[in-house]
Structure 1
Amino acid sequence: MSETVNWKAARECAAQFAQSWSKGEPGGAVIGFDENGIRFAEAGGVESLSTLAPFTAASVIRYASVTKHAFCALVLAHSDKIGLDDPLGKHLPELQAPLRDVTVGRALDMSGGLPDTRECLSLLGLSVYTETKAGPLLDFLARQTRLNYEAGTEISYSNTGYRLVEAALERRGVFFRDYVREVGAQTGAVLDAPDVWNDPVIGLVPGYWLDGERWQLSAAGLHISASGSMTGSGESLAKWLIGLLGDKEPFEGILQQLSAARPLADGRISGYGLGLRESLLGNRSFIGHGGSHPGYKSYFLLDPAHKTGFVVVSNREDTNGYKIALESMAALTGETLPRPSQALRDGTYVTESGPWWIKVAGSTVTYLDADETVYEDEGAWVSSRSASSPMRLKMDGEDIVGEVGHAQRRFHPVREQEVPASLSGVWNSSEGARFEIENGRVVMGIGPVRHRMPLHALGNGRFLFTLVDGPWTKRVCINLLSTDRLELVLARARMIEYRRAG
């Protein structure tokens, strides 16, 4: 290693975060490591509000989307059965165009435009707690005939590609759970990958979310899939990643393939690889990924050049693992942290047409319901510095211009206006879902879960309403396509249509 690293400073930084998790609250662990092993582990809080046992590096959590790179490693290991350039329809013939024409590589590198299954269910009125199974979910996806955008033209996070590729591999007799158990054991890690939330997992600690006053136990009904099914401790995740950094069997060449540049259709390079995203710090590039399930957060950040890294695991919803890992890496390397920017004027903005809107509040920019911090960039520009949610924006008079998801956008300030009475009525989807609009409110659900959500007009047939579902708050855009046809739009699902009842 040619450059000096400061493990003492990195540990002190990690300890400050760990100490912020108090003894009577859910907690987490921050682990620093290099190719030779774990250098430190700092932990705080408790792993269970029932037992009040302290959270440790051995506490088992759900890794959520940290799973993705491991699944991509499985895909690469079975190139004889499935190729990155194969269209999904080759392996899942029941899919319809255009989903069937998306390649396996685009399904995994977030450029495929595949609508996220969980967000589709939210737009159909199904709660995070509603139980769903793999077969009916695949049938649902096979009925879809719209992408979020043309494959290869944008980057937008979605879990669906992983679900579909996993289904394709299972038809060839290849199962992800077998892979993580076997390969994990070779690194000394104890890993599992249950695809149902209620499956027992040895040592799994509860996850928690704060409802504003009290900590609540987390739960979810969605069949998880290989987009986020792995479980294990912070210690086990570190051992797995040390194996990747070591570049020896069974991981020889894998990290390089996972992090290789992935071009969009026009040749521009995306910062999102195969289950890994690039993170810039100072003049250096790192790779990592985060994970989020209700009540669980995780993140890891690697420096492949110097074979160091950090793992963050937590059983509380409010943990910002990316911030902890990045600041720990900055302390280790001496690189300067990016500076959040407030150069964009606060307010809500919308494109001339279409469902694309943003809200600016200080250094936070919300795009189609997804929040990102923006940082200082060249000149008047700000950047999210995020490979999975890329933004580069600046003020242009009263407007905001630039790229979001690598797509060019111009956003105009929203002018206050009324919700027209002509929007009122009953709206039905082909999936059997329905909602009503009356007196400027969306009415969704039945009986005691019937919610009335005020609409806010964005102009030119676009309206926002806020849907609260347990730990999640979703800001949904209604985009009127014609007098009797509309779509509901979230960041990860932009194609759920409803028609006015006759």
Structure 2
Amino acid sequence: MSLEAGWQAASLLARDFADQWPADEPGGAIIGFDANGIRFAHAGGVESLATLAPFTADSVVRYASVTKHAFASMVLHHCNIISLDDRLGAHLPELQKPVADVTVGRALDMSGGLPDVRECLTLLGLSVYTETEASRLLEFLATVTRLNFDAGTEVSYSNSGYRLVEAALERKGFTFDEFIQREIAGPLDIFLKAPDVWNDPVPGLVPGYWKARERWQLSAAGLHISASGSLAGSGRALARWAQALVSGEAKFSGLLQKLSGTRPLANGRPSGYGLGLRWSSLGARKFVGHGGSHPGYKSYFLLDPVEKTGCVVVSNREDTNGYKIALSAMAALTGEQLPRTGCTIPDGLYVADEGALWLEMRNGIANCLDAEDTLYDDGEGWFSSRSASSPMRLRWTGEALEGEIGHAPRRLLPVTPQPAGTELDGSWETPLYGAHLEIQGGCVVMGIGPTRHAMPLQDIGGGRYLFILHDGPWTKRICLSRLADDRLELVLSRSRMIEYVRKA
């Protein structure tokens, strides 16, 4: 297939995806480009349910975690001020061990084991809508004395490393938005903005939406965003920046190679996640990119560093699968086949012998500690997530699920959940943070007044239990793990260290 035929195929496929966004619903844009410019731009849906103005390639959205590689660019730009090998504690002396000993590089490449602030707040009972300030969140992180795992031993997604490194640079007088304007937006003549909080005005920003009981709702969030996901701009602006990056234009020469360079774990194993970028493969080709997700916004971009081509997806609706769209477009462009799913691992719930690790299989999708990934056929009974940010490779032996999760060896056994008894009944608290929950009749009870709600516990054995918490656009499945008679922890994929003790 000729290159021109590939572009025609990719454009047609992107158009089909864009047409699936109805003209009276939130939508998005899909843009394909090469070193010479944009090859196609298709959009569907609307940018506002109030005005019904059509979504276009110029509609401004929140990029969310697509921000990360841009911030990592800032870190590399100031390598004389802050080094990837520096300890976080060298720049933020209030941090305690072991957080203080995590290096800047591991904080950015998802191998640091740093608990994610947003999920910590969820486990303390704070809603996605609860407003928080940067300084208070830094004070919170300064109290943390447990990592999710030993730094360098696993890869698991967390935003906290970017928050901490941003705070370190700000103390030295360097702010992220100033860097964006001076080093990226200005030279490329595009609009980009990195607000501090959700309610900061951003020129042209379109609303984000999520669906509740068949009705679209406006999105909102209270968390101070940080450079882990603060950048906003249009699909066209993101495509222009990605084009400059993959082409190595002028001052950006070699930057993509530095951002996507191999980052090894402590044992020397390459992880596939660089500095705000993750590698993925399609047949014989390797692409690099990243996705982003904020309440009501989804984004993704993929780059082919060899052919200097790429695809950008931006959307103002919660249900968009940007990775699927971008990968499908790149498959159409290159003529490569999309990976096969066909996962034969039996549906059901699986748990490790010890600790809070659980995984549920359903229709080829693995939900591990409440983080979902599709598993693809790797041959000989093995199935892989093919994700550098949540790596997983597993097989069913007939009696156990074996393989790796986060590059760490794992073995999980099937279990049938049972209703919890009354063994945990009582009042529980986190003395340091003032959080409180009750367990009554096998239910976790959190909240006060009209926000008070009871969540049934499912016993999955070994002192582990699961319960479901609903919070606006999010549904969280939390593991409660009993550490001792009067001590327990609440665990999500990105936060595995929030402990409660039983009140006397």
TM-score range normalised by the length of the shorter chain: over 0.9
1:347 equivalent in structure 2: 348
- Give the match for residue 90 of structure 2: 90
Q: Deviations over 1:388-444 (max 9, x none)?
A: 010000001221111001111111111343423221110101210010001110000
2:417 matches 1:426: no
Q: Which residue of 2 aligns with 1:234?
A: 235
- Aligned equivalents of 1:356, 1:491: Cα separation in 2: 9
Query: TM-score, normalised on structure 2?
Result: 0.98
Tell me which amino acid in the other structure corresponds to 2:96.
Answer: Q
Deviates more, 1:407-416 or 1:195-204: 407-416
* Residue 78 (1) aligns with residue 78 (2): yes
Tell me the equivalent position of 1:386: 387
Q: For 1:273 and 1:383, how far apart are their aligned partners in 2? A: 19
Q: Quote the residue 1:53 is aligned against.
A: 53
Aligned residue pairs total 501
- Residue in 2 that maps onto 1:33: 33
The answer on whether the counterparts of 2:419 and 2:457 sit within 8 Å (CA) in structure 1 is no
Partner of 2:441: 439
Distance 2:318 2:21 in 1: 12
Work out the CA distance in 2 between the residues paired with 1:274 and 1:113: 15
Write the mapping of 1:120-199 to structure 2, written as runs, cut at 5 A: 120-182=120-182, 183-199=184-200
In the aligned structure 1, how far is the partner of 2:123 from the partner of 2:264? 31
User: Over residues 458-478 of structure 1, what are the superposed CA-to-partner deviations in whole Å (9 max), with x where a residue is unaligned?
Assistant: 101000000000000000000
Q: Distance in 1 between matches of 2:208 and 2:231?
A: 15
Query: What letter is aligned with 2:402?
Result: V
* Aligned counterparts, 1:294-373, within 5 A: 294-373=295-374
Q: Secondary structure at the match of 1:423?
A: coil
* Amino acid in the other structure paired with 2:129: Y
Between the aligned residues of both structures, percent identity stands at 64
Match of 2:265 in 1: 264
How far the C-alpha of 1:181 sits from its partner, in A, is 1.7
User: Residues of 2 paired with 1:301 and 1:284: CA distance?
Assistant: 12
SS in 1 for 2:192: coil
Which residue does 2:455 correspond to in 1? 453
Q: Which whole-Å deviations, capped at 9, do the CAs of 1:170-227 have from their partners, x for residues lacking one? A: 0111111011122212112210000110000000000000012100000000000000
Output the CA distance in 2 between the equivalents of 1:416 and 1:109: 35
Alignment deviations for residues 61-118 of structure 1 (CA, whole Å, 9 cap, x no partner): 0000000000000000000000000000000000000000000000000000000000
Alpha-carbon deviations, 1:129-165, whole Å to 9, x = none? 0000000000000000000000000000000000000
Structure 1 unpaired stretches of 5+: none
CA 1:59–1:418 in 2, change beyond 3 Å: closer, same or farther? closer
Q: Is the 8 A contact 2:3 2:333 kept in 1?
A: no
C-alpha root-mean-square deviation of aligned residues, in Å? 1.0
Could you say which residue in structure 1 is the equivalent of 2:218?
Answer: 217
Q: Distance in 1 between matches of 2:46 and 2:4?
A: 35
Query: What stretches of structure 1 move > 6 A for 4+ residues in a row?
Result: 2-5
Amino acid paired to 1:49 = L
SS in 2 for 1:377: strand
Q: Give how far 1:252 is off.
A: 1.6
Contact 1:485 1:497 in 2 (8 A): yes
- Cα 1:83–1:5 change in 2 (3 A) is farther
Task: Describe the SS at the equivalent of 1:332.
Answer: helix
Q: Secondary structure at the match of 1:138?
A: helix
Q: Within 1, Cα distance between the matches of 2:114 and 2:442?
A: 31
Q: 48-57 or 235-244: which moved more?
A: 235-244
**Structure 2: which 5+ residue stretches go unaligned?**
none
Q: 2:107 aligned with 1:107, yes or no?
A: yes
How does the TM-score come out when normalised to structure 1? 0.99
Whether the 8 Å contact between 1:4 and 1:333 is mirrored in structure 2 is: no
Range 237-246 or range 28-37, more displaced: 237-246
SS in 2 for 1:422: coil
Distance across 1 between alignment mates of 2:349 and 2:423: 24
Residue 248 of structure 1 and its aligned partner are, at CA, apart by: 2.8
- Cα distance in 1 for partners of 2:205, 2:3 equals 38
Residues 87 and 100 in structure 1, CA contact (< 8 A), matched pair in contact too: yes
